[in-house]
Homo-oligomer: A and B are copies of this chain.
Amino acid sequence: MANPLGKRWYDDACGTALGLELVGERWALLIVRELMFGGRRFSELRAGLPGISANVLTQRLERMEAVGIVQRRKLPPPANVQVYELTPWGYEAEPAIQSLGRWAVRSPLHDPTLDLSPASIMMSFRTMYSAERVGTASETLGFRFGDEVFVVTVDGTELTVRRDEPDGCPVVVDTTPPMLAAVVYGDMPVEDAEATGQMTVTGDRDVLRRFASWFVLPEKAG
């Protein structure tokens, strides 16, 4: 057996080579990223992947379904819509996505001011937070990017992200992903972000300030 899907095949027993067969096509790994916090609809995926065209997204989803990374699920009526979600093994790709990101961020070519999706910045929190800096702290924060909502829980050893209504969190941040990145990874003070009109903080701003201190971007390489 060599060539179950497609024509171009590395024909290599190396796991990395197989990984590239599975998610090495353009956009594939970013689709996995978008699915990392739960099932998404076709149009939601498109929104998180600016530049992808519908036919490519269709192809990738089909292929990743065929190889067991993605499954499609039809929500019960009356919602009756279809969502794509990761299989349990698909979710296990998270460390691979994180390692690649952690390495690439050190490139001089990395431009943190570009746009990024809500799923991207949530993933970056899971990738970049420093348990050492968190210490024994324990916090819950809500984030709202338009209609994409998240609740992030930090408890010292773990940072968890789930898509959920943030009302009731001690602090809720309503903003855009790049603005949040500027506050967490850049030097932008919370009040400056609010002054731009692109961030609204409800509740205890100090929780957000502390949160921002727990993340470090690795320094650039040579």
**Interfacial residues, chain A to chain B (CB-CB below 8 A):** 1-2, 4, 8, 10-22, 24, 26, 29-30, 33, 50-51, 67-68, 87-89, 92-93, 95-117, 120, 123-124, 127, 178, 181, 221-222
Contacts and interface: CB of A to CB of B under 8 A. Distances in A.
Given A88-B222, A101-B15, A221-B89, A30 B26 contact: no
Contacts of A104: 15-16, 18-19, 21-22
Contact of A20 (B29, B98, B108, B110): B29
Copies in the complex: 2
Given A12-B30, A29-B20, A103 B95 contact: yes
A96 B103 contact: yes
A96 B99 contact: yes
B123 A106 contact: no
B24 A89 contact: no
B108 A68 contact: yes
Contacts of A68: 107-108, 221-222
Given A26-B8, A93-B103, A100-B20, A114 B13 contact: yes
Given A103-B93, A109-B4, A222-B88, A50 B11 contact: yes
A114 B50 contact: no
